[in-house]
Amino acid sequence: MRGAFFRTLVKLAECDERIYLIVGDLGFGVAETFAQRFPCRFLNAGVAEQNMTGMAAGLALSGKIVFTYSIANFPVLRCLEQIRNDVCYHGANVKIVAVGGGLAYGSLGSSHHATEDLAIMRSLPHMTVVAPGDPTEAEAATQAVAEHQGPCYLRLGRAGESTVHRVPISFQLGKAIQVRRGTDLTLISTGGLLETAVQVAEILSKKNLQARVLSMHTLKPLDIDTLLAAARETGEIYTLEEHSVIGGLGSAVAEVLAESGAESVTFKRFGLPSSFSCKIGTQEYLRAQHGLSAESVAEAICCISEKARILVTSAEI
């Protein structure tokens, strides 16, 4: 996703002189192309993310489109006050980009695990929150947030993610993408677990459960219409995210379902516990340790779905 973001950003900057990039003392391997092509529109703020965000807000309020970029929590948590008061309060055209969402920097420990960012950013006024599911979505999301007027948060994976979409996609902020059809249940993912969601659906299909897969790349605004349609048509909703179960995709979906008055909908969140990880390892290893492997999720869904169907059958009798 990181490579797709920078390739797209360079293309956009070629056509729009308002686009600036400010980094927090990193990204030279991937940011060098932008820096060399547009030296007057590139700034390295150093290890000073508060300053980075303040400069971005100032440039945006003078008519620029400014992207800030750093690892995981640093462009979000370290400068949250500046994001809230300088960017969101003024509706500034700042696009905050975090690379390494979730457990992507797993070996660096909890300081580099972005597991609360979606909850925090979606709670901020005027903030649009986007977490693309693969490099194809990352490219489209970069263009979409650049065109969007106002603050945006773009949560990326790290590098090496598989391309899930094999055909061209129609990408709109606030509109989910249906990746796979299904009538028995719905899997909704955000961010880098899209490939896992597809793998879960493939496992379930061998057990005669046809899962609809939705990529909810935009967490705010949420695609309420598509969500409620899935609830009506499949009766079971399962959310999948590499983020705390508190405040992220699962919470957003639960809020909609609870307030919609939807009846007889089976619902379950798959995500990370609200705790610091005491384990160190690769992203794949840490996902498995927290029950986010395709096999673990599929097994849990089979058990829940079977119980739900037994209850429905008993009620009908």
pLDDT tens for 234-259 read 999 999 999 999 999 999 999 999 99
* Cβ proximity of 73 and 117 under 8 Å: yes
Residue 170 falls within a domain, yes or no? Answer: no
- Based on the domain organization, do 217 and 305 belong to the same domain? yes
Structure tokens of 50?
A: 């508060």
- 166 in a domain, yes or no? no
72 plus 217 within the same structural domain: no
CATH code of residue 225? 3.40.50.920
**Domain match, 63 and 148 both:** yes
Shared-domain flag, residues 185 and 95: no
203 with 234, same domain: the answer is yes
Residues 96 and 185 in one domain: no
Name the pTM for this structure: 0.95
pLDDT 10s digits, 42-65: 999 999 999 999 999 999 999 999
* Same domain for 183 and 152: no
Q: The domain containing residue 103 runs over which residues?
A: 2-156
Domain total for the chain?
2
**Is residue 289 domain-resident?**
yes
Asked if residue 74 and residue 107 are part of one domain, the reply reads: yes
Q: How high is the pLDDT of residue 306?
A: 81
Check residue 314 and give its pLDDT. Answer: 53
Q: What is the pLDDT of residue 312?
A: 57
Q: CA–CA separation, 203 vs 226, rounded Å?
A: 24
Q: 70-74, 91-95, 139-143: lowest mean pLDDT where? A: 70-74
Q: How far apart are CA 137 and CA 127, in angstroms?
A: 19
Question: Is 36 contained in some domain?
Answer: yes
Helix (H, G, I), strand (E, B) or coil at 259: helix
CATH number at residue 65: 3.40.50.970
- Say if 165 falls within a structural domain: no
Q: Is residue 244 part of a domain?
A: yes
In a domain, 163, yes or no: no
Over the stretch 254-290, which tens digit does the pLDDT of each residue have?
999 999 987 789 999 999 999 998 888 999 999 999 9
Q: Which of these, 18, 151, 30, 170, lies nearest to 86 by C-alpha position?
A: 151
At residue 309, the pLDDT reads: 66
Residue 38 lies in a domain: yes
- 233 plus 290 within the same structural domain: yes
Mean pLDDT, rounded, for 122-138: 97
- Beta strand 128-130 pairing with 218-220: antiparallel
Boundary of a domain, candidates 156, 187, 206: 156
